[in-house]
Amino acid sequence: MGCGSSSASDVSMKSNPMTGSSGKGASSRSGRSSSSGSFSGESGRSRRQSDYKDHKFKLRWKVGEQLGAGGFSVVRKAIRIDDEIETIAAVKITNKRKGKQWLLDLEDMKSEVAIMKELKHPHIMGLYDSFFDEIDCVYIVVEHLPGGDLYEHIREMQTYNEQDARDLAFVFLEVLKFCHDNDVVHRDIKPDNMLLTGDKKNIKLADFGFACKCIGNSETLTDFKGTLVYMAPEIICKPTKYGKPVDMWACGVVLFALLGGYLPFETQKRYLDERLEREICAGWPVKSFNSREHKPYWQEVSSEAKDLISKLLTVDSKKRLTAAEALKHPWINTSETELVRRNLQHSLQTFKRFNAKRKFRSAVHTLVVIIRMQRLIGGTKAAAGGGGVWSEVDEKGAKTPVVDKDLPIVDNRRSARLSSSNKKVIQEFLNSD
């Protein structure tokens, strides 16, 4: 996480989080002897201890199907095997043998694990285990949440009203109050990090990779961390020290999306541009809802809901509502009977269009990255994968070519040569509103 460091990460690209206790005693692996005379005496004992240590994770967890992958890590389903109840979990496996990049992330991972151990809440992803001392890999085991994220949850809804939005807002305001009461600032609040259980009955905050301790009302953080369109003005407009209010700004952005169906601050670029900075620095006063551009999307939304959004998207962090204050806001405490009558079908349709465009834009950006990478490596090595654009990576770093079903299949022999018409289509889409 790197509290106080000057990392320039602006987009959270992390797999979901982390871990807990250590393994069992070494008696289960004792008595192994070396078959070679070269391993004797002290070195022989050292070798046996290392062999045991490297299999501590595997004595407790059985690894299953792959759930996701990154540059140095892979996320797989895992089942606990040393317990009467077979707990299903997700394990993030970071390969120590793929260069030294993992060492740069080691302190971040340990900080994330420490914070997740501290935060026990029904709406926060649970941490089961962590193994930092294995020889080949770091293993972080967390609760498996297969119900999708908040975007997907809303996309699947057939009807939608202000009670639905209020109930969701109440959950993440309650979670933020708990985090802030425990002096933790999350720094990456967004729908992508709000995951649902398999039965879709519970939503949990995940991904504490940017989370950091922040005591009381102090503003001591200086890192440029988060996801651009959810980042508060004090981080990007006039960079200064900041604290817990950055989470409340991000909460306002999420609430805006829940009620309006789109984000208040958007950019097609993967970096901070002047227009985005200017919009964020202006905040979102109530009058903005009545502008010609936005009024059609907000006519069905109550004035109380818009008032709460405006008080969360306040540029002055000292005037911005805290989580405790937001939970006392009139809209949060409006009766269910009243909120059910406030239909948001128009916002739901807007949200579904926005989400489809968001996913497609992400796929296009990923495709562009793939093409650039293939150009860098000459295309030859990529073509050896048999046409797949991704590779499954096991805990030892071995790769098996597969095709990601959510992305266009790339013909590796031709991917580096997009036709001018295709380039134009992609560019027009990325530049569209």
By annotation, the residues acting in catalysis are: 188
Residue 68 corresponds to which tokens in the numbers above? 């996701």
204 token code pair: 């949990």
Q: Contact at 8 Å (CB) between 231 and 12?
A: no
Give helix 245-260 / helix 345-376 axis angle, nearest 10°: 110
Phi, psi angles (nearest 5°) of residue 372: -65, -40
Long-range pairs of 198-203 with CB within 8 A, sequence gap ≥ 24: 198/145, 198/146, 198/147, 199/147, 200/147, 200/153, 202/122, 202/123, 203/123, 203/150, 203/153, 203/168, 203/171, 203/172
Any idea which residue has 């992390």 for tokens?
A: 14
Q: Quote the CA–CA distance of 253 and 284 in Å, as a whole number.
A: 10
Measure the CA–CA gap between 101 and 44, rounded to whole angstroms.
Answer: 31
Q: What value, to the nearest 5°, has the Cα angle with vertex 337 and ends 331 and 341?
A: 85
d(CA 171, CA 173): 6
Q: Which residue has the tokens 């009024």?
A: 295
The C-alpha atoms of residue 182 and residue 119 are separated, in whole angstroms, by 8
C-beta of residue 313 within 8 angstroms of C-beta of residue 264 = yes
SS3 400: strand
Sheet holding 88-95, edge to edge: 61-69, 73-80, 88-95, 137-143, 127-131
CB of 252 closer than 8 Å to CB of 313: yes
Range list of H helices, 195-335: 233-236, 245-260, 274-282, 295-298, 303-312, 323-327
